[in-house]
Chain A
Amino acid sequence: MSESPPPVIEIQGLQTRFGENIVHQDLNLTVRQGEILSVVGGSGSGKTMLLRQMLGLEKPAMGIVKVLGQDMDSSDRVALQQLRNRWGVLFQQGALFSALTVFDNVALPMRELRVLPESMISNAVLLKLNMVGISPGDAIKLPADLSGGMIKRVALARALALEPELLFLDEPTAGLDPLLSEGFVELIRSLHQELRFTVVMVSHDLDTILALSTQIAVLAEKRVIAKGTPQEVLAVHHAFIKDFFLGERGRRALNDKNDIVQTSERGVG
């Protein structure tokens, strides 16, 4: 390994605006290889917008967004397509194609490469589904016949179909009950250890954030006010961080993470 690998995501001087309303102003963010970064912030702080800008679904008013070294504003169609094969995205509602079966949904990214033989795709898809705990019997079902938890897992299998280096998760545990959401977090963590991808995630769920993240970026006042390990972020003095992590709800979530609470209380107190 070289002394410092290039950052996976690099955002510099980003500005986002809707008419007169400025959402992000001079926002900087760097994500390094192997990190699990959670972007947190209040409602309307532009977390999802930031994610969409990283994915190239929205164009910022100003600033540079570089993903895996590729400028998202570039017009190089081939380079952007290659980039899109190197990341996987898990949408909040799964965004499975409802006209295709579970199997075809996961096979779609592999088939779109147009070089892999069908027998191999079949084995690879069933392996990916096996990794997320979906049996071959469920693979022939349509997304409409699946429960919410299964849809999320199938969507994760589709996001991982091409072995991405970078995985985006939009509210990965929203709409799952606590037990399912714990299982899903465990699944992402074990796959992260096995496949060693970088994760960028947007979430509201404190349990998920604290269970998964190695890094947290806090969005407030139109920029990233703190970025670092959970301990470092909790030690920052800021009204939003205090409310978000150390309120009634936050304390409950932090309960089984004693080491973090102690560090943070030392920091805050």
Chain B
Amino acid sequence: MHVIASGCWRVEALARPGVIPALLSRLNSLPDAVAAKWDLSRITAMDYIGAQLLWDGWGGKKPQQLLLSHGQEGLFDRLTQVGPLALPEKEESSFWSFYWIRKWTCSLLDHLSGLVGLVGQFMLDLILFARNPRQGPWKEISANIFHAGAQALGITAVVGFLIGIVLSFLSAQQLHIFGGDVYLVNILGMSIVRELGPMLAAILVAGRSGSSMTAQLGVMRVTEELDAMLVMGLPHGFRLILPKIIALAISMPLLVVWTDAIALIGGIGAARLQLGLSPTYFILKLPDAVPLANFWIGLGKGFVFGILIALVACHFGLRIKPNTESLGRGTTISVVTAITMVILADAVFAIIFRGVGFR
């Protein structure tokens, strides 16, 4: 059998639609490709992709009778010399195998010990700071308060206001059925001051500042800024992590007060429209309906949530590896974990203070 190939066998010609399938079916239809007599001297241009196509058709061997033009020998010489190449086999393991269970456990323990280490380092840095406050990272703290606190006033106000309106509107409708219009103050005040204010502020700050803190530390890892700080004798804990945690511990309670106030204003407005409840009545009734202890609990929550968010953000930020995928994944995990931690802590608060702040 005699096979003659001609034309252009370069990748741009082969890449035209339909060319490769036609060539492959032609090659496969040959009964014994490698035993045939091949004439490639009429091929005008050929590259490794074209040569590889024929080579694969021959089953990785050079035919005995092969007529090549000048310039094609080099291609087939290299293919012969390189021989068959294959990727190493990947170890496939099933989803529930021991390997995965061990891997998950290890990573969980790793994160826990990392977090404990971070808290320990924070405590040591705090003692250092308290002993020598003049050399503390005041500038960093102030910058972080501005970014995480002052710049978050807008978004917390918008979300708090809308939630206040919605909550007030829905509760007013239900209460009206039972003729309990006046209890709207109790429902709104209690839920916003004790629960919703801190939660809304925490979730927004976790999404806003938590992610940016993680990404900032991650990019500093990618650009070797973290290493540069270490060799200059600027410890990460004292200069990067301590200011972030302190800043969120200060600004979160303030944001909680702000969110509470705006949400209550939204609720008062909606109550005026829906039930005709006067704002003066609402404000005068509020101290009776919501004991002061609830306000302090809300502030305490803000303080604890702030510390949690900053700790989680720094923990994941420092673990980012210098590549783009790790950066994206680290930031996502950081936000998800921070919000989960905040909700868990909120449940703990609810259990601890179950007898406080009610009439």
Contacts and interface: CB of A to CB of B under 8 A. Distances in A.
Interface of A: 82, 85-86, 98-99, 103, 110, 113, 115-117, 119-120, 122-124, 126-128, 130-131, 136-137, 139-140, 142-144, 162-163, 194-195
B87 A136 contact: yes
B333 to A, nearest CB: 16
B88 interface: yes
B91 to A, nearest CB: 11
Main secondary structure of the interface of B (DSSP, over half): helix
A120 B57 CA distance: 10
Contact of B85 (A86, A115, A130, A194): A130
A77 to B, nearest CB: 17
Given A98-B323, A99-B325, A194-B74, A127 B52 contact: yes
Contact of A162 (B11, B53, B321): B11
B20 A143 contact: no
A195 B82 CA distance: 17
Contacts of A124: 48-49, 52
Main secondary structure of the interface of A (DSSP, over half): helix
B85 A126 contact: yes
B17 interface: yes
B83 to A, nearest CB: 9
Of the four ranges (under 10, 10 to 19, 20 to 34, 35 or more), the interface on chain B belongs to 20 to 34
Contacts, number: 77
Q: Report, nearest first, the 7 A-B pairs whose CB atoms are least far apart.
A: A98-B323, A126-B85, A163-B47, A99-B325, A113-B15, A144-B323, A115-B20
Given A86-B12, A115-B20, A143 B323 contact: yes
A246 B50 CA distance: 46
Interface string B22-56: 00100000000000000000000001110011011
A115 B19 contact: yes
Given A86-B12, A115-B14, A117-B24, A140 B90 contact: yes
Contact of A82 (B12, B55, B87, B324): B12
Given A123-B52, A163-B10, A130 B82 contact: yes
B12 A85 contact: yes
B220 interface: no
Nearest to A122: B87
B88 A140 contact: yes
A119 B84 CA distance: 12
A127 B325 contact: no
A136 B82 CA distance: 12
B20 A117 contact: yes
Nearest to B60: A123
Given A85-B12, A86-B12, A130-B82, A116 B49 contact: yes
Contacts of A140: 87-88, 90
B312 to A, nearest CB: 24
